[in-house]
Amino acid sequence: MRRPVLLLLLLTSACDALPRDPGDTSGRIASTKVFTVGFLEPDLGGRPQVTGLLKELERRTGAHAHTVPGGGEVLLTRLQAGDLDLAIGRFSKDSPWKSDVALAPPLAASGPEDDPIAIRAAARNGENRWIMTVERASRAVTGTQQQP
């Protein structure tokens, strides 16, 4: 009887740090109290859904959003390199970036229903704890539930 209990304790203690951020994005944000955000298009920073997302992320992390200048490809490349924590922009469902970055749920969408352009936050692939935080914050702002 002791063996299964011991095994269960070992397994549950190993799950404490899941999900993980190999680049330690969440840990760095927690220690510096800052996360960096770039807007792929300058006008997105004033959108209510975007400001709502940033406020929700600040609330969840206890960190302050620091915006950096730039646009489009430059910011997405910086995101991939780990020099940026979040890039917010308009993405189509067939965006060439969808496999290179982790796209959060849409904050808003426009265009045809079968091919909308959605405002989304993008995070660095693999930073799963940070990605989960951004996804949950996006859903909280839009009032959508997590899909099964």
Residue 13 belongs to some domain of the structure: no
Q: Which amino acid is at 141?
A: V
Q: What is the pLDDT of residues 2-52, one digit of tens each?
A: 665 554 444 444 445 567 777 889 999 999 999 999 999 988 989 999 999
Residue 5 belongs to some domain of the structure: no
pTM comes to 0.82
Structure tokens at 130: 């940070």
Residue 15 belongs to some domain of the structure: no
Residue 26 belongs to some domain of the structure: no
Residue 8 belongs to some domain of the structure: no
Specify the pLDDT at position 12: 47
Closest CA to 125 of 15, 22, 16: 22
Residue 4 belongs to some domain of the structure: no
Residue 20 belongs to some domain of the structure: no
User: What's the CATH code of the domain at 38?
Assistant: 3.40.190.10
In terms of residue numbers, what domain contains 59? Answer: 32-142
Q: Provide the β-strand partners of residue 119.
A: 90, 108
Number of domains in the chain: 1
Answer for the pair 61, 55: CB distance below 8 angstroms, yes or no: no
Residue 9 belongs to some domain of the structure: no
Structure tokens at 41: 């298009």
